[in-house]
Structure 1
Amino acid sequence: MPRTVTVGLDGSAESRAAAEWAAREAQLLGLSLKLVQVWEPVPAPTAQAPLLGAETQRYWTERIPRETSEGIRLRHPGLDVTGEQLSGPPAHVLADAMKDAELLVLGSRALGGIGGFMVGSVGLSVLAHADRPVVFVRAGEQAADEHEMDPVGIPSAATAFRPVVLGLDIEHPDDELIGFAIAAATRRGTSLRVVHGWNPPAYYAYGPPADLEQHGTLALRESTALTEVLRPWTEKFPETEVTEECHYGSPGNHLVDASHRASLVVVGRRVRRSPLGAHIGSVTHALLHHSTAPVAVVSHG
């Protein structure tokens, strides 16, 4: 079965923005778009109410995928769009729908005043159990937001894409993560900006204060290691410009800063199971809540 770009839809502003982003991405990938609206059956006491019954709720929720599909077909001629309504707990249903998807796209409420995301429990639950890439799109995201400024200083869909940003841990580099990011940059015709944040080894905290020469030695070591990790990819994709950045300090802070000038931010999530549940990671968690660009999270071993 051909894979699709699948989007979780609930009629909210953030899910509509996610659907539009997913439509644009499906066209870039040459895939079809699948809209999934999850309907939770009404509890028995509520279903007996004359105006809030299960049939009434289902009638109105069925309009969401149908009307959204119609609107996307008008705005994206030629794109194969299907809409589907499924029943059950949203996190479980979306996780199951993701099995046949190239990637899953979810909406995330914007945080007023600081420009980031509010990732709800459904999104976090889906992400924690995902084995396919999951993209989070904030409410209000527009196609122009992913492009460079035009000559008068306004973002425009007619200008080139902003760079794709990849957050990379060089101690645990993953081919699937790097491949996803460079492919995203290539199909957008833009550059890949690789951001690596580092801190001195723990034993430096117990020794004498590091001097400038020692700091420079550590910085050079990290930069050289990053270049070596990326070398096979720059040789394989010579047409895609790859810039490397090694920064001292928290990787999450540097990625949030880079998101202001990105069309897409890509980070990885190592699949680790524990008695306390699936692990998302502090860097990914920080980025999901404060990025101003769409965020793609790629699960890997």
Structure 2
Amino acid sequence: MPRPVTVGLNGTPASLAAAAWGAREASIRHLPLRLVSAWEWQPYSHAPLSGTEMPEQWSRRLPEEAAAQLTHRFPDLDISTKQLTGPPPEMLCREAAEAELLAIGTAGLGALTGFLMGSVAMATVAHTHRPVVLVRPEGTPPPADDADLAQRVQEVERRDTGGPVVAGIDLGPTTDGVLRFAFEAAAVRSGDLRIVYSWNPPVGYVQGIGGDLRWRADIAAEGASMVRSLLEPWSKKYPGVPVSERAEIGSPARHLVEAGARASLVVIGRRTNRYWPREPRIGHVAHAVLHHSPAPVAVVPQD
């Protein structure tokens, strides 16, 4: 049985954007879509609900209403819903373990200020061992109660149609997982793939302006050669995916955010620690990209 594309919903415009993205992704990958919401009982909680509706009822209604709207846009898509009881990060990680990928929404604050990363999103990204895609709504979202999923789907399709997949690599242990996910994402979109490899040399690596320029050129050429060698077997596996690469000196996060400004998807890696699994880490580059990339960001964990 194929793994589904799973989307976590919490009733915000950002989560509706994630639902639209997840539906589109499930459709082009020919996978089922699963919409989930998590409800955790909290004493003395005051949920912003109307009338006499209880938080548990509201949580159950979210995926059902989103599924009904998405069915009109994707009539052939196998959509299921699920309401979970427990801490949202824990529940989302559990669902991600059975999914091809997990999509969750984050609030957008603009290209300069980036994402408003909530505690649920950060905890889920840091703990899950499956790819997680962070999606934010484009433009100014309407109020959650009046949001139209059809509009979100149109935004996703517009970005997917015109933008390449951008992948950031570091030639480290996360590279294989990032490239596998990025090539597959570009292939299902029939789009281009752009590889970004950048690094900051140690302070004092070279001395003098002339020496600095020569060393920069030499290091960039050496980096480009390593990247091309790394990409060769993947290009053979995905011959229909046009690939370009950039090897530059400078901030990896800045280069990735710039390259992903018009991308359909940005793919980055996250190193997991098999020896200390209870001490998850996101990494400073991934953290910066998650906060500032205007495009959806896929975080691929790998030992």
**TM-score where L is the length of structure 1:** 0.87
Aligned in 2, Cα 1:259/1:233: closer, same or farther, shift over 3 Å? Answer: same
**TM-score where L is the length of structure 2:** 0.87
Matched residue, 1:153: none
Matched residue, 1:183: 184
Matched, 1:35 2:35: yes
**Matched residues, number:** 285
Task: Kindly indicate whether the alpha-carbon contact (under 8 Å) linking 1:13 and 1:140 is maintained by their aligned counterparts in 2.
Answer: no
| Aligned residue among 110, 114, 117 for 1:116 | 114
Aligned in 2, Cα 1:228/1:86: closer, same or farther, shift over 3 Å? Answer: same
SS in 1 for 2:256: helix
Aligned in 2, Cα 1:207/1:63: closer, same or farther, shift over 3 Å? Answer: closer
Matched residue, 2:76: 78
| Aligned residue among 135, 138, 143 for 1:137 | 135
Deviations 1:128-180 (A, max 9, x none): 11111000000237455556xxxxxxxx47x9441100001124453222111
Q: Superposition pairs for residues 138-287 of structure 1, below 5 Å?
A: 138-140=136-138, 142-143=152-153, 145=155, 156=158, 160-172=161-173, 174-200=175-201, 202=202, 205=204, 208-209=207-208, 210-272=211-273, 277-287=279-289
Aligned in 2, Cα 1:261/1:73: closer, same or farther, shift over 3 Å? Answer: same
Aligned in 2, Cα 1:42/1:179: closer, same or farther, shift over 3 Å? Answer: same
Task: Kindly indicate whether the alpha-carbon contact (under 8 Å) linking 1:4 and 1:101 is maintained by their aligned counterparts in 2.
Answer: yes
Identical-pair percentage: 42
- The alpha-carbon deviation at position 61 of structure 1 amounts to 2.5
Separation of aligned partners in 2, 1:146 and 1:248: 32
Deviations 1:208-258 (A, max 9, x none): 333322221111111111111111112222211100101110010000111
Matched, 1:300 2:286: no
Aligned in 2, Cα 1:52/1:277: closer, same or farther, shift over 3 Å? Answer: farther
Separation of aligned partners in 2, 1:275 and 1:266: 23
Deviations 1:94-114 (A, max 9, x none): 111111100000000001463
